[in-house]
Amino acid sequence: MIDPAVACDGRETPVRSSESFIPLSDPDVTMVEIEAVEAVLRSPRLSNGPVAEAFEAAFAAWLGRKYAVAVPSGTIGLLVALKAYGIVPGDEVIASSYSFRETAHAISLAGARPVFADIDYWSGTLAPQKVEERITAKTRAIVACNNNGHPAAWSELRAIAERHQLPLIEDSTEAIGSRYKGKLVGSFGDLAVFDFSQPSLLTCGEGGMVVTDDIDIAVALRRHRSHRLSERGSVVVSAAAPYQAQISDVSAALGLAQLNRIDEIIERRGLVEQLYLRHVQSFEGIKPPYIAPDVTEVNWFLYVVHLGTRFTRSSRDAIADDLRVEQVEATAYSQPLHLQRHYLDLGYRRGDLMVTEKIGDRAVALPFHTHLTDDQIAFIVETMKDASINVGAGAAIY
């Protein structure tokens, strides 16, 4: 059993005081990462170069994909992916409204129209039947997310994509290391996008990766991302104006060091998950995260708990506010995209996606990282219990 005064990385941590702040995320950075970054800082090259290429190769090998292209963020990754598939203004792309906002924005940035489909109540991932109902003559791609680390129903989504001859893009920005039917996420889409910003378990500050097995798509990704270093000394005529959206060797060094420690990081986060599970069992107002039968392993992005239907959106917000007053960083997970201003301007309204709205109104993201102690987690859950009583909600009804 973990000593409540010792964090999951083995470092001694003082027992929580009233002045302590418990952040939503806190990267697992050791001397290994610091030394890797220092080596690049002492080298003659800081910008995109050999370390970034090594990171791409290592990430592709870890996933078992043929090609990996490093980018500054998941948003840029999805943007260049859509460009690589020839998505243009007027096209439609099916996506989830219950997803990482910054990544989904890439659909609009590409000039396409996001068409939101509803989600499965338990997993929070796209419901395959709802996806198929949204397909029209204008649909050019399906973007499905592994929400909060939970893999989507990839077998069913693959069948739909093949039936309608559409590329299936896998948004794995929240799910590094999770497995579906024994295979790592990032293995199921024609192309998959990852993001390495916080609170990802693998973080290099800012950065991302796009992976595929299609050499033509990989070439297109690189063409839209940036010119090669060898092209900078001459006039280059290219088929596309690139975004110059590569990552630096500094970021790549941090990411590569984290990738080499990924099993260790996943194990440490698993210990924190077990502590949460033990404490939330005593709280009838919330349910622990759900894991679908075909899902082999889930590595949570954040520790998200779902309040029962007696809670309202305002009571959920009040609970998050109470946690923040007690120096616990908590937030809604997530604010459905179709109810945000940009998408309201596209004609979406409350009531369009009933399951998404029901889940979105009652999901709370709690701190989740390797530096949490048993004592801190007990405090978080007890504070949430007290806050739920303050808002007058009773036991959960799922």
The rounded distance, in Å, linking the Cα atoms of 374 and 2 is 7
Domain with CATH 3.90.1150.10 in the chain: 262-390
Please state the rounded mean pLDDT for residues 309-320: 89
Answer whether 57's CB lies under 8 Å from 175's CB: no
What is each CA distance from 169 to 85, 126, 127, in whole angstroms?
10, 13, 15
Percentage of residues in the chain having pLDDT higher than 90: 74
pLDDT in tens, 354-397: 999 999 999 999 999 999 999 999 999 999 988 888 876 544 43
pLDDT in tens, 327-351: 999 998 888 999 998 898 889 999 9
The rounded distance, in Å, linking the Cα atoms of 172 and 120 is 17
Kindly list the strands in the beta sheet with 295-297, ordered across the sheet, starting from the edge strand earlier in the chain: 183-184, 179-180, 295-297
> H helices within 114-181, ranges in order?
128-134, 154-163
Is the model's pLDDT at 33 over the cut of 90?
A: yes
The SS3 of residue 208 is strand
The CATH T-level fold of domain 31-260 is Aspartate Aminotransferase; domain 2 (3.40.640)
pLDDT in tens, 258-310: 999 999 999 999 999 999 999 988 777 677 678 999 999 999 999 998 888 88
Tokens of 61: 């090998």
pLDDT for 239: 60
Answer whether 280's CB lies under 8 Å from 381's CB: yes
What is each CA distance from 349 to 65, 104, 333, in whole angstroms?
39, 18, 19
What is each CA distance from 106 to 9, 26, 114, in whole angstroms?
36, 27, 9
Full-model pTM: 0.89
pLDDT in tens, 129-173: 999 999 999 999 999 999 999 999 999 999 999 999 999 999 999
pLDDT in tens, 37-78: 999 999 988 888 899 999 999 999 999 999 999 999 999 999
Q: Is the dihedral of CA 272, 323, 315, 346 positive or negative?
A: negative
Architecture field, domain 262-390: Alpha-Beta Complex (3.90)
Is the model's pLDDT at 231 over the cut of 90?
A: no
pLDDT-based confidence at residue 19 (cuts at 50, 70, 90): low
The rounded distance, in Å, linking the Cα atoms of 80 and 128 is 25
The rounded distance, in Å, linking the Cα atoms of 236 and 250 is 27
Is the model's pLDDT at 227 over the cut of 80?
A: no
pLDDT for 364: 92
The backbone region for 181, taken as left when phi is positive above 0, alpha when psi lies in -120 to 50, beta otherwise, is left
